[in-house]
Amino acid sequence: MSEDNKDLGDKAEEAFDKAKDAAKEAAEDAKEAASDFKEEAKKTASEFSEGLNNAVGGGDNKKILAGILAIILGSLGIHKFILGYQKEGFIMLGVTLLGYATSCIVVGAFFFWIPGLIGLIEGIIYLTKSDEEFYNTYQVGKKPWF
């Protein structure tokens, strides 16, 4: 019977060694997977942070500047130039200058009054949108009017 116990002990020891080796392999695989996950998470967080900074805090977001200029100097179309809409800026500036040039007749007053009203409305719209919505609509989507 001691021979049987010795065989059982050897088998148990062999099974223990196999289990120990399997656990080491599983631990190494888990460390590698965790390392890969960690690197991927850092990369994703970095991309998210960069996108957020561009959309909210700085970068190309011109929401406040365009909104205030639209309210104060909206008839001149300066806010359009700030956002990169040259054609629309020149249209507003041209209509305003035409209004000043023809202000001696009643129709001229409407020519510089209307672009000012458009600028006021656009300034309010710009400032009431969220930073992300403004960025996506006017800077990425390039929506020129309202």
- Average pLDDT (128-141) is 86
Identity of residue 6: K
Q: Are residues 54 and 67 in the same domain?
A: no
Range of the domain at 88: 63-140
Residue 17's pLDDT is: 74
Q: Are residues 51 and 99 in the same domain?
A: no
Q: Which of 70-79, 94-103, 108-117, 132-141 has the highest mean pLDDT?
A: 70-79
pLDDT for residue 111 is more than 90: no
Q: Are residues 68 and 128 in the same domain?
A: yes
Q: Are residues 99 and 117 in the same domain?
A: yes
Q: Which residues of 45-83 are buried (b: 16+ CB within 10 A; e: fewer)?
A: eeeeeeeeeebeeeeebbbeebbebbbeebbbbbbbbeb
Report yes or no on 76 lying in a domain. yes
- Higher pLDDT pick, 140 / 121: 121
Q: Are residues 67 and 134 in the same domain?
A: yes
Q: What is the pLDDT of the chain when averaged over all its residues?
A: 79
41-75 tens-digit pLDDT: 677 666 666 655 554 444 457 889 999 999 998 88
Q: Are residues 69 and 41 in the same domain?
A: no
120-129 tens-digit pLDDT: 999 999 999 9
The C-alpha atoms of residue 80 and residue 115 are separated, in whole angstroms, by 12
Residue 59's pLDDT is: 45
Report yes or no on 145 lying in a domain. no
Q: Are residues 13 and 75 in the same domain?
A: no
3-state secondary structure of 37: helix
The reported pTM is: 0.56
